[in-house]
Amino acid sequence: MSISKTYLPKETEEKWYSYWLKHDFFKSVPDEREPYTIVIPPPNVTGVLHMGHMLNNTIQDVLVRRARMKGKNACWVPGTDHASIATEAKVVAMLKERGISKKDLTRPEFLAYAWEWKDKYGGIILEQLKKLGASCDWDRTRFTMDEELSEAVIDTFIHLYKKGLIYRGIRMVNWDPQGKTAVSDEEVIRKEVNQKLYYIKYSVASDELPGSDETTGTTQHATGNYLTIATTRPETIMADAAICINPNDERYLHLHGKRVFIPLINREIPVILDGYVTMDFGTGCLKVTPAHDLNDYELGQKHNLPVIDILNDDGTLNEKAQILVGEDRFAARKKIAVLLEEAGALEKVEDYKSQIGFSERTDAVIEPKLSMQWFCKMEEMAKPALDYVLDGEVKLIPEKFVNTYRHWMENVKDWCISRQLWWGQQIPAWYLPNGKYVIAKNIEEALVEAQLIDAVLTIQDLTQEEDVVDTWFSSWLWPISVFDGFKDPDNADINYYYPTNDLVTAPEILFFWVARMIMAGHEFRGQAPFKNVYLTGIVRDKLGRKMSKQLGNSPDPIDLINQYGADGVRVGMLLCSPAGNDLMFDESYCKQGSGFANKIWNAFKLIKGWEVDENLKNPNAIAIEWFGSRFNQALGEIESDFEQYRLSEALMATYKLVWDDFCAWYLEMIKPVYLQPIDQATYIATVQFFENILKVLHPFMPFLTEELWHDELFGERTEKDCCIVAQLPNVGEINARLLSDVEIVKDVITSIRNTRKTKQIADKEPLELFVKTNTDINYQQYQAIISRLGNISQFSTAKDKVAGAINFLASTDEFYIPFNETVDPVAERARLEKEQEYLIGFLKSVNAKLTNERFMSNAKPEVIDIEQKKKADAEAKLTILEENLAALAG
């Protein structure tokens, strides 16, 4: 049978994924084993896989697979989020294409279309995750609008309402005029935008009362004085309620107590004083527009100013504006500038950069707007949620996020939970004809409640609140609701799997998802929902730009998988992903990943090609013992990397173990000459090593390892004997002396190779080697290895220095390679003197320490020991160098 020269991922990936599925390896049911649970951060149901998902899910899969191989009952719960705004927007767009307008549909009709859409496109992203190798328990797939999950949302709403944590009120919210809904602070993306700063003149009214203009002969409009304000939003002047100046601003002392006129509409407003105004911004005069700016709103509250809302829900001006009614806010801005100019009220226009909020979902410019919304009080819930993190019960990885988390939790604001949408859980509030409302699970229960208020009410008198709850109001329940922990709070699943172990997510949703899950966990289970939160970075391109559809700088993950194989892409992602730091993704990492897969494939090919001769003696005992030790050492390092969630380092340690130690050193030490058979002991040990390597590799590269696992090289396997469920080897004995000896042996080999290079001796030409030992290393033991890898024909011990030979040091042992050409004494002297000079300098610095009283009295004993050893080493080397120099002279 011929084996392909390179690893071909396509052929194996689908085969093994369906094999794993068929044998239920991803499936988890509670048993006596220790559970290991991850709930997926549910991607948007209509979404497609992007690089952020790739990273996030690769990490989760690595963790889950590793836990499975450590004998835990691993359960990874997948699912999707209904993403109300995004999905509703997509459904509206789809309907528009079909010539249907949302406002012509009833709510049930619209929802029918939405479900149809969800059923058609909802599965895509989960199917894509399978391509990546995600070992989720697909039987547990949940959707945030599944019946049980929606019921949990309603029940928790009622629960929190009864606790007094949910209230209805008029608040300034972030209004998305395109989606026509309020959005949470977290869904507002601030971007720096080039704008214009308009300087507008407001004329100052005379001191006379409005209308009494006879005494001075001047009208209110003609005091001749005016003040100038600077604004980026001239279209909102009609909503102005006051002009505010800083009481300490001496430029405007004369305006205290005055009133001014809004240009164009000539409405009179007061000049108020407040330290809030920054004197050096703009002109120092601030127009106060309570209806259209959050800070102005607060200022208005403080000074009892009226709120004049001149905008419709879709961002057009309403009749309260008096002028430009019906115009969109941006069109109105342009037009009003012209009108102001014509009226002589526009002083100047400047370019100005400022931060503007955009809707994350629709990219429309957010409008601060006063509206009646539902809110959830946060302060009470935030406190315990903060404590979990501060006490370390929930660990944030990396830790630096604790500070950010604390800052947010200590300044938490109430959560606007209502959304003016249809796609989502409708708020369980029923309005009575008198405007009062009741909160109840369904209309029947609502009627009971309503009749307590007014006994004559019937079902027809009740109308349910139109709004749905914010999507996050369902996802914050996710770790509980996926195990049906609301309806059935004592069921076997929730008792077994909750709290989950690790949550892997992006830092951008630390607050609006992670923090709230901790709150919900505490509120409804009295326990945080997870123990560790691993925060991944944002995937950026080489230029540091966030990957996005708009920029078109994001590769299609499925294309990457097709090109480099799922294993290659997984390795590529992890190679460049330190926890919590953004990663500059570049395809070359995937190339490195697929190159690694190929390397493993070829090591396999080599071993597989060997013929065993049972009569041969084992010449490789040392090499085998060395690699066994090295493997255990690496295993320990990898284990500790995982404990600290240093995944890319765990991968790198694995990479080097396989590539350097196994392939470059071990296999080269033991591989028989071409077409020669191998002895049985070496063969068995090597196959065993390789199998263990496959296990260590499996979480990173599941497909390749499973493919190789089933090769006949490893003997017969039963149907269920798969790499995915193999148990990771335990860290075994480590022969430290052997490891350190072999490092010196490697030095010797490298020096031989180096000598060949500098003296231009072909690798093929065998050389003689002499060693004059000054240490207790038994080179006899390593003779075979050195001879093999250095191509040494004769390796012997010398009592004295070998004249006329090239020499080098390994540790403090002296090595000589006789060389038929004479060694250039001048160059050799220069080389030795350079080394001597360095050692003298080094020795000087060591001696400086050792003779420094304060060092000797302050430094730890082990540090002093090290320094003394350095000194001894350096002295020994110097002695040898001096002898060699003397020999050269003689």
Partner RNA sequence: GGGAGUUUAGCUCAGCUGGUUCAGAGCAUCUGCCUUACAAGCAGAGGGUCACUGGUUCGAACCCAGUAACUCCCA
Binding RNA by CB under 7 A: which of 279, 664, 798, 885? 664
**In this chain, which stretch among 262-270, 570-578, 692-700, 712-720 interacts with RNA, using CB under 7 A?**
570-578
Least separation in angstroms between residue 846's CB and RNA is 7
Angle at 387 between CA 385 and CA 390, to 5 degrees: 120
Binding RNA by CB under 7 A: which of 323, 443, 859, 878? 859
- What whole-number distance in Å separates Cα of residue 496 and Cα of residue 836? 67
Binding RNA by CB under 7 A: which of 491, 852, 868, 879? 852
* 666, 669, 671, 676: CA torsion to nearest 10: -160
Closer residue to RNA, CB minimum distance, 520 or 667: 667
CB atoms within 10 A of CB 616: 16
Closer residue to RNA, CB minimum distance, 170 or 866: 866
Least separation in angstroms between residue 229's CB and RNA is 19
Least separation in angstroms between residue 116's CB and RNA is 35
- Closest Cα partner for 36 from 762, 861, 699? 699
Q: What mask, x for binding RNA by CB under 7 A, covers residues 468 to 507? A: ---------------------------------------x
Determine, following the binding rule CB under 7 A, whether residue 606 of this chain makes contact with RNA. Answer: yes
Q: Is 490 exposed, middle or buried (0-12, 13-18, 19+ CB in 10 A)?
A: exposed
- Tracing tokens 């295993």 back to the chain, one arrives at 635
Binding RNA by CB under 7 A: which of 116, 139, 660, 824? 660
Closer residue to RNA, CB minimum distance, 226 or 855: 855
- Asked if residue 262 lies in contact with residue 315, where contact means CB atoms within 8 angstroms, the answer is no
Binding RNA by CB under 7 A: which of 148, 151, 155, 185? 185
The CA-atom distances, in angstroms, between 364 and each of 367, 420, 672, 762 are 9, 16, 69, 69
Determine, following the binding rule CB under 7 A, whether residue 62 of this chain makes contact with RNA. Answer: no
Determine, following the binding rule CB under 7 A, whether residue 196 of this chain makes contact with RNA. Answer: no
- Tracing tokens 């009494």 back to the chain, one arrives at 212
**In this chain, which stretch among 215-223, 523-531, 657-665, 707-715 interacts with RNA, using CB under 7 A?**
657-665
Determine, following the binding rule CB under 7 A, whether residue 739 of this chain makes contact with RNA. Answer: no
- What whole-number distance in Å separates Cα of residue 381 and Cα of residue 322? 45
523 membership: H or E segment, kind and range: helix 516-525
> Distance between the two ends of the chain, CA-based, in angstroms?
64
Determine, following the binding rule CB under 7 A, whether residue 873 of this chain makes contact with RNA. Answer: yes
CB within 8 A of 123, min separation 6: which ones? none
Closer residue to RNA, CB minimum distance, 190 or 348: 190
What is the footprint of RNA within residues 527-566 (CB under 7 A)?
A: 542, 544
What is the footprint of RNA within residues 245-304 (CB under 7 A)?
A: 294-295
**In this chain, which stretch among 237-245, 325-333, 525-533, 746-754 interacts with RNA, using CB under 7 A?**
746-754
**In this chain, which stretch among 72-80, 216-224, 600-608, 824-832 interacts with RNA, using CB under 7 A?**
600-608
Closer residue to RNA, CB minimum distance, 595 or 818: 595
Determine, following the binding rule CB under 7 A, whether residue 668 of this chain makes contact with RNA. Answer: yes
Binding RNA by CB under 7 A: which of 655, 779, 815, 816? 655
Map residue 186 onto helix, strand or coil.
Answer: helix
Binding RNA by CB under 7 A: which of 797, 858, 868, 879? 858
Which tokens is 557 given?
Answer: 């993950």
Determine, following the binding rule CB under 7 A, whether residue 212 of this chain makes contact with RNA. Answer: no
Peptide bond connecting 619 to the previous residue in cis, omega within 30 degrees of 0: no
- What whole-number distance in Å separates Cα of residue 694 and Cα of residue 803? 49
Least separation in angstroms between residue 354's CB and RNA is 8
Binding RNA by CB under 7 A: which of 265, 830, 866, 886? 866
- Closest Cα partner for 536 from 57, 116, 19, 155? 57
Determine what percent of the chain falls in helix, strand and coil, rounding each to the nearest 5: 50, 20, 35
Closer residue to RNA, CB minimum distance, 465 or 582: 582
Closer residue to RNA, CB minimum distance, 91 or 650: 650
- Closest Cα partner for 63 from 142, 138, 135? 135
Determine, following the binding rule CB under 7 A, whether residue 659 of this chain makes contact with RNA. Answer: yes
Q: What mask, x for binding RNA by CB under 7 A, covers residues 811 to 850? A: ---------------------------xx--x---x--x-
| Number of shown-chain residues binding RNA (CB under 7 A) | 79
Least separation in angstroms between residue 562's CB and RNA is 13
Sign of the CA dihedral with 828 first, then 829, 830, and 832 last: positive
CB within 8 A of 159, min separation 6: which ones? 524
- Asked if residue 561 lies in contact with residue 132, where contact means CB atoms within 8 angstroms, the answer is yes
Closer residue to RNA, CB minimum distance, 50 or 259: 50
Binding RNA by CB under 7 A: which of 15, 190, 256, 441? 190
Least separation in angstroms between residue 804's CB and RNA is 23
Determine, following the binding rule CB under 7 A, whether residue 775 of this chain makes contact with RNA. Answer: no
**In this chain, which stretch among 229-237, 267-275, 771-779, 863-871 interacts with RNA, using CB under 7 A?**
863-871
Angle at 125 between CA 121 and CA 127, to 5 degrees: 95
- Closest Cα partner for 162 from 419, 441, 488, 485? 441
Map residue 148 onto helix, strand or coil.
Answer: helix
Determine, following the binding rule CB under 7 A, whether residue 605 of this chain makes contact with RNA. Answer: yes
- Asked if residue 145 lies in contact with residue 166, where contact means CB atoms within 8 angstroms, the answer is no
Closer residue to RNA, CB minimum distance, 40 or 366: 366
Closer residue to RNA, CB minimum distance, 411 or 718: 411
Determine, following the binding rule CB under 7 A, whether residue 674 of this chain makes contact with RNA. Answer: yes
**In this chain, which stretch among 26-34, 259-267, 399-407, 498-506 interacts with RNA, using CB under 7 A?**
399-407
Binding RNA by CB under 7 A: which of 335, 656, 801, 831? 656
Which tokens is 40 given?
Answer: 């997926």
Q: Is 7 exposed, middle or buried (0-12, 13-18, 19+ CB in 10 A)?
A: buried
Which one-letter DSSP state was computed for residue 355?
Answer: E
* Single-letter residue type at 414: D
What is the footprint of RNA within residues 1-20 (CB under 7 A)?
A: 5-7
Least separation in angstroms between residue 687's CB and RNA is 15
- Asked if residue 514 lies in contact with residue 476, where contact means CB atoms within 8 angstroms, the answer is no
Determine, following the binding rule CB under 7 A, whether residue 740 of this chain makes contact with RNA. Answer: no
Determine, following the binding rule CB under 7 A, whether residue 609 of this chain makes contact with RNA. Answer: yes
What is the footprint of RNA within residues 83-112 (CB under 7 A)?
A: none
CB within 8 A of 502, min separation 6: which ones? 38, 60, 63, 530, 531, 532, 533, 534
* Single-letter residue type at 206: S
Determine, following the binding rule CB under 7 A, whether residue 648 of this chain makes contact with RNA. Answer: yes
**In this chain, which stretch among 117-125, 262-270, 459-467, 858-866 interacts with RNA, using CB under 7 A?**
858-866
Closer residue to RNA, CB minimum distance, 186 or 461: 186
Determine, following the binding rule CB under 7 A, whether residue 639 of this chain makes contact with RNA. Answer: no
Determine, following the binding rule CB under 7 A, whether residue 803 of this chain makes contact with RNA. Answer: no
Closer residue to RNA, CB minimum distance, 228 or 581: 581
- What whole-number distance in Å separates Cα of residue 749 and Cα of residue 738? 16
Determine, following the binding rule CB under 7 A, whether residue 576 of this chain makes contact with RNA. Answer: yes
- Closest Cα partner for 665 from 746, 781, 767? 746
Determine, following the binding rule CB under 7 A, whether residue 525 of this chain makes contact with RNA. Answer: no
- What whole-number distance in Å separates Cα of residue 83 and Cα of residue 272? 44
Binding RNA by CB under 7 A: which of 411, 615, 730, 822? 411
Closer residue to RNA, CB minimum distance, 76 or 472: 472
For the chain, the farthest-separated pair of C-alpha atoms sits apart, in whole angstroms, at 128
Angle at 610 between CA 609 and CA 611, to 5 degrees: 125
